[in-house]
Structure 1
């Protein structure tokens, strides 16, 4: 074995055989030392850096000499692939991890790797980008579930960079979004790995349906809106098979408004079961509603024109992790139907509670009336007894006003009981002071 110096890097140079796959395996040889092995191997000069040469390399060479196939004599360089995308107002949105807002547009990218090793994902954009890497499945309404790593500015200039060891045969989802909410723009992703990774779009599944608003459409008083009485509407039943974040957007030549309800929808009570409403978030006077929907649950999307006198055709696009079932919502029992048993039970229970509160209040009022009436009667009886004693007492009669001039009033005037009243004019007339007798009358009276 020889040692040489080249550009300040030490190299160990060995001679290795010229190996062909499928060589003989029955010619077994044993080497006791490294020099012994070098002397017996067929000559082919090969040099490696000092840090890479060790006895493990010699073991691999010996195995090759014995016919166990071939291995590469140098490591392959990393290869890269790029992906370009756009975030717009029509992109789906979610609440990103560590985000303070509620509306972050995003694009989900499926990542396929073919070799074990370190992989790097970096962004290039005029936007301040943010990225999350997920394992297997990405749930927009549960953005922290299956999250492997997230990054904001590791690539500099407000760009992200994620560097991880990935393994082949597994699904990864790279979600590209922004640091601030409601930001749009284009971006480019560069992915680097031992073998070229494949980046492909993992866009949500879209369901579309077309409807018409006409003069024969039903009408209702829509909530939170200008010119809200007698507005024509179209009610659409939305059936969800997978929980997740869904986006509803209208496309029409007329100015539309959208209202999302928990089923059932009652046109005579437009605020009942209302979840969210929107007018122009979709651009071009079109609504866009983003909502987290639960599986095995039904919702009602109500579409109206912004002005009640306008009619026309419109298209609904619903995007999410799974296809939605959109059908015309028909009332099965008059103006108020109840297709969701859980909601109906809750509404029925609320009505029962209200009835019980009203009944308890009425009972309490009746009890109060019946409890106060004996007190009033007792007071009246006490006053009558006092008046009777006053009439029967002779001492009181001698020193009091004659009772013939006393009138008793046992009725109620202005809710105040008056046991008796005294006529002041009669008393004054009866007990007016008499003038003194004349002298003549006094003399005549004494003579008699």
Structure 2
């Protein structure tokens, strides 16, 4: 990770951590970088519903057009739709203005390359160098070389058509609840489900710039659970602010998270010969119960660091077609290069309709293990993570758990924390073994 850009773009509080000057310089760099050999750069921009998204959109446009780029505006749309339009319409790059599941006062800039993937690290390093460098390092475009803006809502509409085309059956007769998080999905999701014939019950679909993710969406799924039960729905789907993740609720009001979605879709794809390499890519935070279920079904799995970026890299490097995170970032490589919440909900609907099984039955095949995760503040993450006594304590717990659980030590990427996680057959064991390791860390003088 760089000074400004993390694993999911440049993110922070609007006009505090991420300012209009930052956005302008990102635009200036990208417009110049992709305008080479006399070729005019073409960039597509989407945004979520935060009040500051308009401000950053205008600032990016100013920077891009000043460097000679033509800018195509999708307006309010989802992150995966920007990725789709970039690769299908041959843009040089795309930009999504969003802070995903963060509160409304945060915002972010996600840059997507011409293949619809997250921008390469070497280009990000060049952007950061320019942000900290002199403004005149890049010349202004003049005369006919100055860029322009184009209304490109048609690109978003084409993406809606693409999603509809993925469905294998009509949704007629199915009652579906949708929590749109007052965010990006508000411009797309209902249109898709209505077109497929579902009887839709939509909540949190009135964005005002300040209510995105507020007590709604995939990070506050209680509202969707109530909606499903109150309306007797067959299924419910909740998205986050930019709709690149999805969590489900079954007909009984129970949450079906990303791990369960990976199992349900992975098993279905294997049975139909569609699971390339017979492998699903997960992160180290997926539940131990998911791996036990995969082993029972004869499905291989791989683990990456936390972040859909790392899941996609593994899938791309090894030719795998399904991967994702517990949080609901699910990647179907046949259809997308990024997590796509609405696409995920369509694929879950496919399994429900084709197998003629309710979501509760499909999810019941995985025994989710109790989990305890404790964040421990330490003086030095590296030293704490490599301490001999701590590693011996972890090994002792691992042997005690055997094949009935696991322990994981993971440093925080942004804070002086070590995360100690234990999954076991009982919550008492989780608590006991977590505390055993933390006591060793305290004895070794590693805690703040």
Q: TM-score surpassing 0.5?
A: no
TM-score computed with the length of structure 2 as normaliser = 0.21
TM-score computed with the length of structure 1 as normaliser = 0.21
More strand by share: 1
